[in-house]
Structure 1
């Protein structure tokens, strides 16, 4: 299977040009990568916010207040 359109490699590669896979899809790959990256950060932001909110409500508020007043 060839993803770059060449079936015969018995040529002068200096005259061929790009030989990497999926040539022509560079812009699409960058867009997909950036969308994935931003989506990943959004998911992490929401999950960590839920975790921190849950952690904020654990424990006894009076004990926390007493410990903070000590210092």
Structure 2
């Protein structure tokens, strides 16, 4: 891709042409990035909620809560 000649800086910028590829697709890339960002947050929230619920089930069984409060390792490691 040619970015034009910069021999004369007094010229018209529009005559130089695009300085980077895919000029005009910035909004499309922004929308794609926001969609991936939101999807990542939703997936992260679901995984953390499932992990939290699993930990609560383990702590509710028997005397696991008391053992955990005493410092024993009751929950699985990450």
Give the TM interval when normalised to the shorter protein. 0.5 to 0.7
Gaps of 5+ in 1: 1-5
What TM-score do the two structures reach when normalised by structure 2?
A: 0.60
Aligned length: 62
- Stretches (4+) displaced over 4 A: 65-68
User: What's 1:12 paired with?
Assistant: 5
Report the RMSD for the aligned CA atoms in angstroms.
Answer: 2.7
What TM-score do the two structures reach when normalised by structure 1?
A: 0.65
Matches of 1:10 and 1:57 in 2, distance apart? Answer: 62
Q: 1:45 to 1:24 in 2, by over 3 A?
A: same
User: What's 1:31 paired with?
Assistant: 31
Residue 51 of structure 1, CA deviation: 0.9
Residue 22 of structure 1, CA deviation: 1.2
User: Does residue 62 of the first structure (1) align with residue 63 of the second (2)?
Assistant: yes
